[in-house]
Chain A
Amino acid sequence: MSQFAVEALFVGCKEGLVLALCLALITAYLRGRGRDPLVRTVYAAVIAVLLASLAVIMVPVSVEARAIAVKMAGTLFGLVYLTALAALYHTAEPKDSGPVAEALHRPAVLGPVLFLATIAYFIPDMAASTLYVSDLQEMAGGGVLVHITAAAGFFFALAAAYAVARTFPLDILRIAAFPQLLLFLALIKLLTGGVRGFAEISLIPSVQSGLMKLVHDAVHQLLVMLQVPDHPILTVSAWNFIAVLFGTTAGLILSLLVFLLPLAFFLRKHFGSPIAVPVGLASGAARRAYLRGVRDDRMLKSLPVILFMIVITLTWFSQRGEGAAQRYAPTPVRLVAESGSISIPIQSPGSSLLDGRIHKYVVQEKGVDIRVLIVKKPDGTLVAALDACDICPPDGYAQTTEHVVCLYCNTPIPVGTVGMPGGCNPIPVTALISGKDVRITMKEIAGKWMAMMIGEGKKGVRR
């Protein structure tokens, strides 16, 4: 058996185990709640997912569609997590059901919702794995062996897990109400992607970057609101201090808090809320037994939450330092202007402007080094900008997965917004982009660089 077939076998086994584990949890929960008819709905959705995954083999799938499938995994994790949080808070302090909850109690609504939710939960991973197996098959030189071994692994794992579940029936209701079930499902998504897989879906880096930008903008907006020009009065030392707030470390810590705090608040409420003892309990022993029962139930129902917090924290630790390590900051390539402009070939030996990475160039004008960056945006177009913004000293930018990051103040800028003017964005420059090269006039970049250097924002900064 080729190495590709062996790998396909493992991929199939993994997907089979994941499916079996999730089905065991979901069906045990539904049966425990006396909602047996809904088990059939879940099975129907799983069959739909399997058929859709098979269809992926038959039809050509674009690179963009693959990227969407990977992104969906992260988005769905977030959705499951947020739904679990909402449900946790509802159970911690039950209120009158709103129209949504009431609608969900109707079988005519709940059935289709469960059907669609099951499909949404399983399909990104299943489709991505199927695509991966197809890639393996291509690498193996065609044939059906790779697909057959993947299918064999899948059904073997499914059957083995089913046998285990039959032998050791799961009493999930002891430890899980609906929100805990969702947390388990989120955990499975997290763990079966592997902790590295979690990094790939960019959940923590995305949250981290978003928070960093939020804090950065809040600082700027506060100073704007106070009508204080920030950079002239704040020295680089002050900025270094402020930058701690939206630096990588703060972003990482904040991203961890975003995940942990809601759960911690839930646990506080869960354990801290007083227990209402029913009036009918006559003896002290009955009262104590009731209190003990409620406390035990609270303890057991908190275990999935605590487990989730532990795994998130471990994942977070595995992410630490990756932000800095993953930054890509190439040394600018020195160019010489010809006929009043610079020309950068789109394809050159060992380099392509279309590779998705930032490309930096430096050119001299009247003894001043002017840096330019070029990057391919997610929409596939190339964009050119100065390697500097209007606000910070021109330290330039590095690149992470989805952002360019200011090397001075650590502000992340989504790659998609490079080319837009203002704020912390790289100062856009007009470029003539043909199929062969990117051409920028010296007048354009020198003018903007000089304007940037004498800008209001640079006056008070000691460099």
Chain B
Amino acid sequence: MSFIFLQGVSKDYGTAQALRGVDCSIGRGEWVSIMGPSGSGKSTLLNIIGGLDRPSAGTITVDGADINAMKGEELARFRRNSVGFIFQQSHLIPYLTAAENVMLAQYFHSLPDRAEAVEALAKVGLGHRLDHRPSQLSGGEQQRVCIARAMINNPGILLADEPTGNLDRANTRTVLDLIRDIHRQDGYTIIVVTHDPEVSRWADRSLFMEDGRIVTDEPICR
């Protein structure tokens, strides 16, 4: 049975149609990449799956729960407990240290626990940068803090929107290695939106979108 299931999902912004009846099914523990030109609806689709946005029509179920039917607090709980987000921009709090940024995610989930945050940062190779603020970290390091922040609450689903868009080759490789580890070791379901075919190749399956529709849905052969 599908872990994430979308049926007839549409999203209108006034007269503009960002999504046009998207049907899709993603299994538990699958790594899916979504590619397509700008404005094709990739980020909109990711936001709707993550409960950051609501569709104009259609159904989305995650692990059997209809997230479109969820009201405010219930939806917030879904995002808090079940989804980790990584964006192209790190969106770290500039006046908090790396450890505190991770602890902030813990705080909104349940309780802050520094020891656990330190362990998560050590896991992404930042054990020596705990008390550095984002401005004191490189782009790759900032993105690794984001990965630690996204994973700290053990959400089970990782949604990444252009996670390597601002990174050089070496840092891209580091970030993707980390995501692969999470996928393999912890069995996360991962959806990565990217323009980069190289990044897309790391996934199990690739969706290609155009004009708000999925036009191709193919497994990645390695």
**Residues of chain A having any CB pair with chain B under 8 Å:** 283-286, 288-289, 291-292, 295
Contact = CB atoms under 8 A, between A and B. Distances in A.
A291 B110 contact: yes
Given A285-B109, A286-B154, A288-B111, 17 more contacts: A284-B113, A284-B116, A284-B119, A284-B152, A284-B154, A285-B81, A285-B106, A285-B153, A285-B154, A285-B155, A288-B110, A288-B116, A289-B81, A289-B109, A292-B110, A292-B111, A295-B111
10 closest cross-chain pairs (CB), A and B: A292-B110, A288-B110, A285-B154, A283-B154, A285-B153, A284-B116, A289-B110, A288-B111, A292-B111, A291-B111
Interface string B119-150: 10000000000000000000000000000000
16 contacts: A284-B113, A284-B116, A284-B119, A284-B152, A284-B154, A285-B81, A285-B106, A285-B155, A288-B110, A288-B111, A288-B113, A289-B81, A289-B109, A289-B110, A291-B110, A291-B111
Contacts of B109: 285, 288-289
Contacts of B155: 285
Contacts of A289: 81, 109-110
A286 B81 CA distance: 10
A220 to B, nearest CB: 55
A288 B119 CA distance: 15
Interface-central residue, A286, A288, A295, by most chain B CB under 10 Å: A288
Nearest to B117: A284
Contacts of A283: 154
B190 to A, nearest CB: 18
Contacts of A284: 113, 116, 119, 152, 154
Nearest to A295: B111
Nearest to A290: B110
Contacts of A295: 111
Determine the interface band of chain B, counting residues with CB < 8 A from chain A: 10 to 19
Contacts of B110: 285, 288-289, 291-292
A283 B110 CA distance: 13
Contacts, number: 29
- Binding site secondary structure of chain A: helix
A284 B102 CA distance: 13
Contacts of B81: 285, 289
B166 to A, nearest CB: 28
Contacts of A292: 110-111
A80 B42 CA distance: 63
A286 B113 CA distance: 12
Contacts of B113: 284, 288
Interface-central residue, A284, A289, A292, A295, by most chain B CB under 10 Å: A284
Nearest to A283: B154
Contacts of A285: 81, 106, 109-110, 152-155
Nearest to A289: B110
Interface-central residue, B106, B110, B113, B116, by most chain A CB under 10 Å: B110
Interface in B145-179: 152-155
A284 B116 CA distance: 7
B220 to A, nearest CB: 29
Contacts of A286: 154
A285 B103 CA distance: 11
A288 B106 CA distance: 8
A404 B111 CA distance: 58
A286 B119 CA distance: 16
A461 B77 CA distance: 75
A284 B153 CA distance: 8
A284 B117 CA distance: 10
Contacts of A291: 110-111
Contacts of B152: 284-285
A367 B152 CA distance: 94
Nearest to A284: B116
A295 B116 CA distance: 19
Nearest to A296: B110
A19 to B, nearest CB: 34
Nearest to A286: B154
A283 B113 CA distance: 13
Interface in B14-38: none
A283 B153 CA distance: 8
A295 B110 CA distance: 10
A44 B154 CA distance: 52
A155 B108 CA distance: 47
A277 to B, nearest CB: 12
A369 B19 CA distance: 105
A71 B119 CA distance: 64
Nearest to B186: A283
A283 B185 CA distance: 14
A50 to B, nearest CB: 41
A32 to B, nearest CB: 20
A244 to B, nearest CB: 47
A16 B69 CA distance: 40
A398 to B, nearest CB: 58
A430 B190 CA distance: 99
A284 B110 CA distance: 11
A183 to B, nearest CB: 28
Contacts of B154: 283-286
